[in-house]
Amino acid sequence: MELSGKRVLLIIGGGIAAYKALELIRRLKDAGASVHAILTAAGAQFITSLSVSALSGERTYQELFDLTVESEMGHIALSRAADLLVVAPATADLMAKLAVGLAPDLASTALLATDKPVLLAPAMNVRMWQHPATRRNLAALTRDGIHIVGPNDGEMACGEFGQGRMAEPAEILAAITAILKPVNLAGIRALVTAGPTHEPIDPVRYLGNRSSGKQGYAIAEALFNAGAETVLVSGPVALTAAATSKLVRVETAIEMRDACEAALPVDIAICAAAVADWHVEHPHTTKLKKPNAPPSLVLVENPDILAELSHHPTARPKLVIGFAAETGNLLVNAAAKRAAKGCDWIIANDVSTDTQGKSVMGSDSNRVHLLSEAGAESWPLLSKRDVAQRLTAKIAQFFGRAA
Ligand code: CTP
């Protein structure tokens, strides 16, 4: 069984989605995990500790200062005996407490006291999810390394429609498995491109794009942490050095292509960079001055690094993965891109702005679809780090390395 011997501490917050936590317990047990649960006071308004205990086969913890519990197992031990803490549903209130480090009850105390990974499955009204305070808390939690799965779009119990529905138990289980199941990529060589490229116009100006490099860096780190020898070729980004075997910093698409070529042979290539499609044929060697007429720039197409790696005559990686950043017709365009570029998998994401004018570019989470020969697989909204971890697990499967 996939999660044999793994111990999960499940914190059930208050929300109508609490009933799905019961289904999650059942699935975790079926997968071989043991489950201890903390039911918050708000959670207990929706489901009973009796039903939680009946499914988990363990006593359900409720109060911080329950002396019996403290003598059996204190809150510190409780939060550390687990391999993973899962909060489902994670309410706006629980997220806020964890983001600022408040610990007024057993659930928030366990979250603060743990030295283990934490996965949140947020569930709340769409306005609460979109509120600037929740956005700030989410950004802080992601920075702190907290894993996030969901929420999904859909109709909510409150009658409104939008993002805020808790991820389905199967999606939460997949996120748990990606965190807990060790993958071993030792001996595998990986190449990852990340960030934008800057194509000079003159010594001070360039053509560029809004790519932050976060997704590519997260992928390089996840592969490296799984034991792969990883070369990260990065365009200009504001991120600090990543945990990789080697980081090569470049500016232009041509430099990026050359750095990739120099890194070959590799077993996997993942092109997460937003490479500029064109460069200026003859960048000015001195700064263009305003009194001159607006310059006309002659643009020349850049090398397509993903297509070149996919069709490499002597050193084609065994697995080549590209990204398709689209603003419309996502799956159709992405499938066409996979065929046109000749890569094995494509990760499609919608980079159009949402109703708040926010784009996935630069944000900390990503909702992607993985397209391969086998078809399309849609993943729930995940932090970029969780997308990276899940992709690493898929890659491990491809190389027959899944534990
Ligand atoms: N890519 C690349 N080299 C380029 C352009 C793109 O390696 N010169 C890779 C990106 O890293 C990504 C994939 O190709 O993995 C798709 O990039 P995208 O910008 O979505 O597609 P384009 O090929 O630029 O097509 P278009 O802009 O027309 O959508």
Which residue out of 191, 210, 300, 323 has the highest number of ligand 1 atoms within 8 Å of its CB and is therefore the one to mutate?
A: 323
What does CATH list as the number for 189-398?
3.40.50.10300
Residue nearest to atom 12 of ligand 1 (CA): 323
**CATH 3.40.50.10300 region(s) of the chain?**
189-398
Grouping H, G, I as helix, E, B as strand and the rest as coil, residue 101 is coil
Active-site amino acid positions = 158
Q: Which atom of ligand 1 is nearest to the CA of 193?
A: 11
What's residue 18's pLDDT?
96
Q: Which atom of ligand 1 is nearest to the CA of 277?
A: 8
C-alpha 231, offset from chain centre: 20
With a Cβ cut-off of 6 Å, ligand 1 is lined by 193, 253, 271, 273-275, 277, 302, 304-306, 322-325, 337
Q: Is 65 exposed, middle or buried (0-12, 13-18, 19+ CB in 10 A)?
A: exposed
Q: What is the pLDDT of residues 118-160, one digit of tens each?
A: 999 999 999 999 999 999 999 999 989 999 999 998 877 777 7
Q: Are strands 118-122 and 299-301 parallel, antiparallel or unpaired?
A: unpaired
Q: Report the half-sphere exposure of 298 (CA within 13 A, side-chain side).
A: 4
What's residue 355's pLDDT?
47
Burial 92-104 (b: 16+ CB within 10 A, else e): bbbbbbbbeeebe
What's residue 1's pLDDT?
76
Indicate the fold that domain 7-180 takes in CATH: Rossmann fold (3.40.50)
**CATH 3.40.50.1950 region(s) of the chain?**
7-180
Q: Which atom of ligand 1 is nearest to the CA of 341?
A: 14
What's residue 361's pLDDT?
58
Residue 119 CA to ligand 1 centre (angstroms): 32
Name the nearest CA neighbour of 8 among 92, 31, 138: 31
* Structure-token pair, residue 53: 């205990």
Residue 383 CA to ligand 1 centre (angstroms): 22
Q: What is the pLDDT of residues 75-120, one digit of tens each?
A: 788 888 999 999 999 999 999 999 999 999 999 999 999 999 999 9
Output the CA torsion sign for 153, 156, 162, 166.
negative
Q: What is the widest separation between alpha-carbon atoms in the chain? A: 82
Residues of the chain with pLDDT under 70: 64-73, 292, 352-362, 402-403
Torsion from C-alpha of 124, 130, 134, 135, nearest 10 degrees:
140
* DSSP-derived secondary structure for 280-338: ESS--SSPPPTTSPPPPPPEEEPP-HHHHHHT-SS---SEEEEEEEESSSHHHHHHHHH
Q: What is the DSSP letter of 372?
A: E
Residue 22 CA to ligand 1 centre (angstroms): 43
Report the C-alpha gap between 330 and 348 in whole angstroms: 7
H or E segment and range at residue 8: strand 7-12
Residue 253 CA to ligand 1 centre (angstroms): 11
* Cβ-Cβ contacts under 8 Å for 256 (sequence gap 6 or more): 193, 197, 233, 235, 250, 273, 275, 305
